[in-house]
């Protein structure tokens, strides 16, 4: 998040500078000589600023050809201004996801120009640029339309090599994975001995001691849930997860998944409705991974919906996607906090007042699973009205992967 914020600040600054460079000629002032002198001075200052930027910066025309490249971008892409200017960015700046080039219509510059909004390319294991010599590097990039008088006159892209960030993330993930593994053994022992104490008939426990046992058991379960979530996240992020797709009936999968949640629903008197499109086809997915997505979304809906509320699940097919919708009549998420929804450890302030327990890791894991499955996830929420999540999966299904481990 910090990287994206810093890049966005740089982008805003760079855009302002570039407007001075590229649109100054459109201005009209009375004194032409003073205008020329002032404009030249502004251009010289602007060019000096652009040249001294630590971030790579590119300006593309509406034809997607490179109009300007700063020294930082030249160094990152191992090129020169003479070689780069005039080249089509899609051909010159190779961008890949995995081993496949990003299609032209999916390039951030194309989407940004068509939709007129800012596009952020986050750090990921499989998204990278390739230099002129063939070296690849993970990238953080922000792309935005360059405007003048409400007209789009080009595209500005700010980016940097995220190799260091990736290395730090890898070290953190390895530490979390190691620490979580080491915690599982003592936690399992605590859980086991607590259960033995609670069920022991050899020694009669007082009501106060029974209360202590219940508190220990509850706290241990919470710790085990947290450790399992951290382990699952580290496994997803490391790309070591086994993906074993099978033709799956999603309606049947959901019914099997929510089996253990029905008691919670009955206790809270929550009305649960589930339906699917009549002609919904079987889809080749890993039922364990996608079942985890349904489990998290539905469990959250049940947890954060007051007694007597409603949770609805609907599955449909649209074009080349299967779309699942999970809606509730719960507490919702405050508008000013919604941008943090998929961040690790995030829990909405209004929710914490009602439900104290929770790790704030579920939605982060859900998004990671959905996006790694070739899908996308989005939402709509209104405080005190409820929340709806949608996530899509390609009709073509998930790509199998051997991997090393599975989710807990």
- Other Cβ atoms within 10 Å of 93 Cβ, number: 25
CA distances (Å), origin 158, targets 43, 46, 86: 19, 16, 18
pLDDT at 119: 57
List of residues 6+ apart from 280 with CB closer than 8 A? 250, 251, 315, 316, 317, 322
Walk me through the domains of the chain, giving residue ranges and CATH numbers.
2-161 (3.30.450.20), 167-238 (1.10.287), 246-394 (3.30.565.10)
Q: How far is the C-alpha of 169 from the C-alpha of 163, rounded, in Å?
A: 10
Give pLDDT < 50 ranges for the chain. Answer: 1-2, 25-30, 123-125
Partners of 65 in the β-ladder: 88
Greatest alpha-carbon span in the chain: 101
Per-residue pLDDT of 50-70, as tens digits, reads 777 778 888 898 898 999 889
> Alpha helices, DSSP H only, in 273-376?
287-303, 349-352, 362-372
Element holding 219 (H helix, E strand): helix 207-238
Give the pLDDT confidence score for residue 298 in this predicted structure: 94
pLDDT digits (tens, 9 = 90+) for 67-116: 988 999 899 999 998 998 999 888 888 888 767 788 888 888 888 787 76
Return the pLDDT at 284: 93
CA–CA distances in Å: residue 356 to residues 212, 222, 283: 19, 11, 37
19-38 b/e (C-beta count within 10 Å ≥ 16 → b): bbbbbbeeeeeeeeeeeeee
């Amino acid at each position: 998040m910090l990287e994206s914020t810093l890049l966005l600040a740089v982008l805003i600054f760079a855009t302002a500078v570039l407007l001075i460079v590229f649109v100054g000629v459109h201005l009209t002032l009375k004194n032409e000589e003073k205008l020329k002198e002032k404009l030249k001075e502004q251009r010289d200052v602007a060019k000096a600023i652009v040249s001294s930027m630590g971030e790579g910066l590119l300006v593309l025309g509406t034809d997607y050809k490179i109009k300007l490249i700063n020294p930082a971008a030249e160094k990152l892409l191992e090129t020169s201004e003479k070689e780069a200017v005039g080249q089509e960015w899609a051909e010159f700046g190779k961008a890949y996801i995995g081993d496949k080039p990003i299609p032209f219509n999916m390039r951030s510059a194309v989407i940004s120009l068509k939709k007129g909004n800012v596009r952020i390319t986050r750090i990921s294991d499989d998204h990278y640029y390739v230099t002129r010599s063939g070296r690849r590097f993970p990238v953080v990039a922000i792309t935005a339309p360059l405007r003048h008088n409400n007209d789009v006159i080009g595209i500005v892209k700010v980016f940097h090599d995220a190799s260091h960030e990736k290395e730090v993330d890898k070290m953190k993930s390895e530490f979390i994975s190691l620490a979580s593994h080491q915690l599982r053994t003592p936690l399992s022992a605590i859980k086991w001995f607590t259960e033995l104490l609670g069920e022991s008939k050899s020694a009669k426990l007082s009501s106060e001691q029974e209360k202590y046992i219940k508190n220990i058991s509850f706290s241990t379960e919470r710790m085990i849930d947290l450790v399992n979530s951290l382990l699952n996240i580290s496994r997803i992020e490391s790309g070591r997860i086994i993906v074993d797709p099978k033709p799956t009936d999603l309606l049947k999968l959901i019914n099997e998944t929510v089996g253990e949640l029905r008691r919670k629903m009955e206790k809270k008197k929550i009305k649960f409705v589930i339906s699917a499109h009549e002609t919904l086809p079987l889809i080749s997915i890993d039922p364990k991974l996608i079942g985890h997505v349904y489990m998290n979304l539905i469990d959250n809906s049940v947890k954060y919906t007051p007694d007597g509320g409603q949770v609805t699940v609907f599955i449909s097919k649209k074009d080349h996607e299967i779309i699942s919708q999970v809606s509730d009549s719960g507490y919702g998420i405050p508008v000013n906090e919604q941008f943090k929804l998929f961040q690790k450890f995030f829990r909405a302030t209004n929710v914490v007042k009602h439900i104290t327990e929770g790790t704030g890791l579920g939605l982060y894991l859900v998004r990671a699973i959905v996006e790694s499955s070739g899908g996308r996830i989005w939402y709509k929420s209104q405080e005190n009205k409820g929340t709806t999540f949608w996530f899509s999966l390609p009709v073509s299904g998930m790509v199998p992967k051997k991997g090393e481990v599975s989710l807990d």
